Copies of this chain bind each other. A is one copy, B any other.
Amino acid sequence: MQVAIVLYPGFTSLDVIGPYEVLGRLPDTEVVFVAERPGIVRNDLRGLSVDVAASLSDVPDPDVVLIGGGPGQTEQMSDGDLHEWLRTVDRTSAWTTSVCTGSLILAAAGVLDGRRATSHWAALEQLREFGVTPSDERVVIDGHYATAAGVSAGIDMALRLAGLQLGDDVAQTVQLIIEYAPEPPYDAGSLESAPADIVRSATERLSRRFPR
Protein backbone atom coordinates (compact mmCIF):
# COMPACT_ATOMS: atom_id res chain seq x y z
CA MET A 1 0.00 0.00 0.00
CA GLN A 2 1.27 3.51 -0.82
CA VAL A 3 0.29 6.50 1.31
CA ALA A 4 0.90 10.03 0.00
CA ILE A 5 1.03 12.84 2.56
CA VAL A 6 0.82 16.32 1.03
CA LEU A 7 2.94 19.09 2.56
CA TYR A 8 2.77 22.80 1.73
CA PRO A 9 4.34 25.90 3.33
CA GLY A 10 2.65 26.73 6.64
CA PHE A 11 1.42 23.19 7.39
CA THR A 12 0.77 22.20 11.01
CA SER A 13 3.26 19.48 11.84
CA LEU A 14 1.20 17.28 14.21
CA ASP A 15 -1.66 17.18 11.65
CA VAL A 16 0.53 15.05 9.41
CA ILE A 17 3.02 13.44 11.80
CA GLY A 18 0.29 11.93 14.00
CA PRO A 19 -1.20 9.83 11.15
CA TYR A 20 2.25 9.28 9.64
CA GLU A 21 3.40 7.56 12.82
CA VAL A 22 0.45 5.15 12.58
CA LEU A 23 0.29 4.57 8.81
CA GLY A 24 4.07 4.31 8.47
CA ARG A 25 4.04 1.31 10.82
CA LEU A 26 1.51 -0.74 8.84
CA PRO A 27 2.83 -3.86 7.12
CA ASP A 28 3.85 -3.53 3.45
CA THR A 29 3.12 0.18 3.48
CA GLU A 30 5.23 2.96 1.99
CA VAL A 31 4.56 6.55 3.01
CA VAL A 32 5.72 9.32 0.69
CA PHE A 33 5.68 13.02 1.51
CA VAL A 34 4.79 15.01 -1.62
CA ALA A 35 4.64 18.71 -2.40
CA GLU A 36 3.62 20.84 -5.33
CA ARG A 37 7.07 22.44 -4.99
CA PRO A 38 9.53 19.84 -3.67
CA GLY A 39 12.51 20.95 -1.60
CA ILE A 40 12.46 22.45 1.89
CA VAL A 41 8.91 22.98 3.16
CA ARG A 42 8.52 24.93 6.40
CA ASN A 43 5.71 24.53 8.90
CA ASP A 44 3.40 27.16 10.40
CA LEU A 45 5.55 27.74 13.50
CA ARG A 46 8.53 28.04 11.12
CA GLY A 47 10.84 25.93 13.28
CA LEU A 48 10.50 22.70 11.29
CA SER A 49 11.98 22.38 7.79
CA VAL A 50 11.12 19.16 5.95
CA ASP A 51 13.05 18.18 2.85
CA VAL A 52 10.40 16.82 0.47
CA ALA A 53 11.78 14.82 -2.46
CA ALA A 54 8.61 13.90 -4.36
CA SER A 55 6.53 16.15 -6.57
CA LEU A 56 2.83 15.52 -7.18
CA SER A 57 3.55 13.94 -10.55
CA ASP A 58 6.00 11.51 -8.91
CA VAL A 59 3.06 9.95 -7.03
CA PRO A 60 0.28 9.44 -9.58
CA ASP A 61 -1.83 6.76 -7.88
CA PRO A 62 -1.44 6.44 -4.11
CA ASP A 63 -3.78 4.09 -2.26
CA VAL A 64 -4.23 6.61 0.54
CA VAL A 65 -4.01 10.40 0.18
CA LEU A 66 -3.71 12.58 3.27
CA ILE A 67 -3.66 16.35 3.49
CA GLY A 68 -3.31 18.23 6.76
CA GLY A 69 -4.22 21.77 7.75
CA GLY A 70 -2.52 24.81 9.16
CA PRO A 71 -2.43 28.54 8.38
CA GLY A 72 -0.87 27.72 5.00
CA GLN A 73 -4.18 26.10 3.99
CA THR A 74 -5.59 29.49 2.95
CA GLU A 75 -2.95 29.67 0.18
CA GLN A 76 -4.05 26.28 -1.17
CA MET A 77 -7.70 27.12 -1.84
CA SER A 78 -7.41 28.24 -5.49
CA ASP A 79 -7.73 25.77 -8.30
CA GLY A 80 -4.42 24.71 -9.79
CA ASP A 81 -1.99 21.78 -9.89
CA LEU A 82 -2.69 20.60 -6.34
CA HIS A 83 -6.48 20.57 -6.79
CA GLU A 84 -6.14 18.85 -10.15
CA TRP A 85 -3.88 16.20 -8.58
CA LEU A 86 -6.31 15.71 -5.68
CA ARG A 87 -9.22 15.19 -8.09
CA THR A 88 -7.17 12.75 -10.16
CA VAL A 89 -5.78 10.58 -7.34
CA ASP A 90 -9.18 10.57 -5.64
CA ARG A 91 -10.63 8.65 -8.59
CA THR A 92 -8.51 5.58 -7.77
CA SER A 93 -7.60 5.97 -4.08
CA ALA A 94 -8.87 3.52 -1.50
CA TRP A 95 -9.05 6.45 0.95
CA THR A 96 -8.89 10.22 0.46
CA THR A 97 -8.31 11.79 3.86
CA SER A 98 -7.66 15.03 5.69
CA VAL A 99 -6.81 16.35 9.13
CA CYS A 100 -7.87 19.74 10.49
CA THR A 101 -8.36 22.41 7.78
CA GLY A 102 -7.01 20.01 5.17
CA SER A 103 -10.69 19.17 4.59
CA LEU A 104 -11.24 22.74 3.31
CA ILE A 105 -8.65 22.07 0.61
CA LEU A 106 -10.34 18.80 -0.37
CA ALA A 107 -13.67 20.64 -0.36
CA ALA A 108 -12.36 23.51 -2.49
CA ALA A 109 -10.95 20.98 -4.96
CA GLY A 110 -14.48 19.61 -5.26
CA VAL A 111 -13.84 16.08 -4.11
CA LEU A 112 -16.10 16.29 -1.04
CA ASP A 113 -19.21 17.50 -2.92
CA GLY A 114 -22.34 16.37 -1.08
CA ARG A 115 -20.35 14.55 1.61
CA ARG A 116 -20.28 14.84 5.40
CA ALA A 117 -16.89 15.93 6.75
CA THR A 118 -15.18 17.48 9.74
CA SER A 119 -12.40 20.03 10.27
CA HIS A 120 -10.86 22.12 13.03
CA TRP A 121 -13.70 23.44 15.24
CA ALA A 122 -12.83 27.04 14.29
CA ALA A 123 -13.18 26.28 10.57
CA LEU A 124 -15.99 23.74 10.59
CA GLU A 125 -18.78 25.96 9.25
CA GLN A 126 -16.65 26.99 6.24
CA LEU A 127 -17.24 23.52 4.78
CA ARG A 128 -20.81 24.58 3.88
CA GLU A 129 -19.48 27.12 1.35
CA PHE A 130 -18.28 24.14 -0.71
CA GLY A 131 -21.41 22.02 -0.52
CA VAL A 132 -20.10 19.84 2.29
CA THR A 133 -22.12 19.05 5.42
CA PRO A 134 -20.09 19.80 8.56
CA SER A 135 -20.08 17.25 11.37
CA ASP A 136 -18.63 17.81 14.82
CA GLU A 137 -17.56 14.19 15.19
CA ARG A 138 -13.82 13.74 15.76
CA VAL A 139 -13.48 11.40 12.78
CA VAL A 140 -15.99 11.30 9.93
CA ILE A 141 -16.07 8.45 7.45
CA ASP A 142 -18.30 8.93 4.40
CA GLY A 143 -17.69 6.64 1.45
CA HIS A 144 -13.95 6.45 0.86
CA TYR A 145 -13.43 9.82 2.56
CA ALA A 146 -12.07 10.06 6.09
CA THR A 147 -11.75 13.50 7.67
CA ALA A 148 -10.44 14.30 11.14
CA ALA A 149 -11.03 17.27 13.43
CA GLY A 150 -8.21 19.59 14.53
CA VAL A 151 -4.48 18.76 14.71
CA SER A 152 -4.29 15.81 17.16
CA ALA A 153 -7.39 14.07 15.72
CA GLY A 154 -5.34 12.60 12.87
CA ILE A 155 -3.98 9.91 15.20
CA ASP A 156 -7.51 8.65 15.92
CA MET A 157 -8.40 8.78 12.22
CA ALA A 158 -5.31 6.83 11.18
CA LEU A 159 -6.01 4.09 13.71
CA ARG A 160 -9.60 3.88 12.42
CA LEU A 161 -8.32 3.58 8.84
CA ALA A 162 -5.73 0.98 9.86
CA GLY A 163 -8.47 -1.13 11.40
CA LEU A 164 -10.82 -0.77 8.43
CA GLN A 165 -8.08 -1.54 5.91
CA LEU A 166 -6.04 -4.24 7.68
CA GLY A 167 -8.07 -5.42 10.64
CA ASP A 168 -8.39 -4.58 14.32
CA ASP A 169 -5.38 -6.67 15.38
CA VAL A 170 -3.00 -4.74 13.13
CA ALA A 171 -4.38 -1.39 14.30
CA GLN A 172 -4.22 -2.36 17.97
CA THR A 173 -0.64 -3.58 17.63
CA VAL A 174 0.38 -0.19 16.24
CA GLN A 175 -1.58 1.54 19.00
CA LEU A 176 0.42 -0.38 21.61
CA ILE A 177 3.73 0.27 19.83
CA ILE A 178 3.09 4.03 19.90
CA GLU A 179 1.74 3.64 23.47
CA TYR A 180 -1.40 5.56 22.60
CA ALA A 181 -3.25 5.51 25.90
CA PRO A 182 -3.74 9.26 26.19
CA GLU A 183 -3.97 11.01 29.57
CA PRO A 184 -4.63 14.68 28.84
CA PRO A 185 -4.00 16.62 32.07
CA TYR A 186 -7.13 18.72 31.46
CA ASP A 187 -10.54 18.16 29.90
CA ALA A 188 -10.26 21.16 27.59
CA GLY A 189 -9.69 19.64 24.16
CA SER A 190 -13.10 20.30 22.63
CA LEU A 191 -15.61 23.15 22.49
CA GLU A 192 -18.00 21.01 24.55
CA SER A 193 -15.57 20.25 27.37
CA ALA A 194 -13.42 23.39 27.62
CA PRO A 195 -14.33 26.09 30.17
CA ALA A 196 -15.97 29.18 28.61
CA ASP A 197 -12.97 31.46 29.23
CA ILE A 198 -10.66 28.95 27.51
CA VAL A 199 -12.98 28.82 24.48
CA ARG A 200 -12.88 32.63 24.37
CA SER A 201 -9.10 32.79 24.60
CA ALA A 202 -8.55 30.07 21.96
CA THR A 203 -11.10 31.69 19.63
CA GLU A 204 -9.33 35.02 20.05
CA ARG A 205 -5.93 33.43 19.34
CA LEU A 206 -7.34 31.95 16.11
CA SER A 207 -9.45 34.97 15.12
CA ARG A 208 -6.99 36.49 12.65
CA ARG A 209 -7.08 33.24 10.75
CA PHE A 210 -10.78 32.49 11.09
CA PRO A 211 -12.61 35.83 11.24
CA ARG A 212 -16.24 35.60 12.30
Contacts and interface: CB of A to CB of B under 8 A. Distances in A.
Interface of A: 12-14, 17-18, 20-21, 24-25, 30-33, 40, 45, 47-53, 100, 120-121, 138-139, 149-153, 155-156, 159-160, 163, 168-169, 171-173, 175-191, 193-195, 197-199, 201-202, 205-206
Contacts of A160: 185
Contacts of A205: 173, 177
A166 to B, nearest CB: 13
B179 A152 contact: yes
Given A151-B178, A193-B181, A40 B47 contact: no
Given A120-B179, A197-B169, A186 B163 contact: yes
Given A20-B13, A152-B155, A184 B185 contact: no
A189 B182 contact: yes
A51 B47 contact: no
Q: How many copies does the complex hold?
A: 2
6 contacts: A17-B18, A172-B186, A176-B188, A176-B189, A180-B182, A182-B182
Contacts of A202: 173, 176-177
Contacts of A198: 169, 172-173, 176
Given A178-B152, A179-B190, A205-B173, A185 B159 contact: yes
Nearest to A204: B173
A21 B25 contact: no
Contacts of A168: 186
Contacts of A186: 159, 163, 168, 171-172, 175
A139 B172 CA distance: 22
A196 B56 CA distance: 42
A40 B51 contact: yes
B51 A50 contact: yes
B50 A179 contact: no
A201 B173 contact: yes
